[in-house]
Amino acid sequence: MIVDGSKKLIFRLGGTGFLLELGDVVEVVERIAGMLDSSRSDIGRGIVSALQFRQTWIPVVDPALKLNIFSVVKLKDKKAVILRGSEGNWALLVDQVGELSAAENFHSCEIPFLLKVSAMGFYSQVKLLYNEPMIVFEPERYYGSTAVSI
């Protein structure tokens, strides 16, 4: 697969927009109903379920839990963004997967001093896409050996 590193994948959780480096993405699974095994959870590591993907089971992480985001989308209706990590593939649960957007459409935007403490540990960069704040999703904060449970 040829990865265009100049593009970002947009996804949404509870109305908040996030952007993800396309190079981290393996695949987007639009329909996950029937492919989940919630008995294989490890909440301490942020894993809410396991997803059958390419003849194996991979961990499913719901970032809404860590980010304290309320989502009205039911689990069966969520999408999974499959990411490659140091410990293998894993799935990120999201409400919606949007379009790919060119890197030049994003403009850097500093997190205000007054918000830095509350954002610390969850995100460190915000970019503007057509004047809408988008959080730069940092996968290592959510799954893998460096992720910290909250």
Partner 1 sequence: MSRFGLFQIDQFKFAVSLQLIKKILQNSKSYNLPRLPRAISAVLVDAGQLIPLLNLQQMIGRETQQEHLTQSYQVLVESEYGTVALPADLTGRIVDEQKGERSTIVEQEVNLGGVGSFIYQNEDYSILDINFLAIEMTQVFWQNQPDTGGARRHQ
Nearer to partner 1, 53 or 101 (CB): 101
Indicate if the alpha-carbon torsion angle 95, 101, 103, 106 is positive or negative: negative
Nearer to partner 1, 15 or 23 (CB): 15
Q: How far is the CB of 8 from partner 1 (least distance, A)?
A: 18
Give me the 28-67 binding string for partner 1, x by CB under 8 A, dash otherwise: ---------------------------------------x
Q: How many CB atoms lie within 10 A of CB 143?
A: 22
As given in the structure block, the two tokens for residue 133 are 């704040």
- With contacts defined by CB under 8 A, name the span among 54-62, 80-88, 89-97, 113-121 that binds partner 1: 113-121
Alpha-carbon distance of 119 to 37, in angstroms, equals 31
Among 30, 99, 104, 110, indicate the residue that binds partner 1 (CB under 8 A): 110
Asked if 15 touches partner 1 (CB under 8 A), the answer is yes
Q: How many CB atoms lie within 10 A of CB 8?
A: 26
Quick one: which of 26, 40, 34 has its CA closest to 75? Answer: 34
Nearer to partner 1, 18 or 53 (CB): 18
Quick one: which of 83, 134, 67 has its CA closest to 107? Answer: 134
The residue type at 24: D
Asked if 93 touches partner 1 (CB under 8 A), the answer is no
Binding residues for partner 1, rule: CB under 8 A, are 14-16, 67-69, 107, 109-115, 117-119, 122-123, 126, 128, 131-133, 135
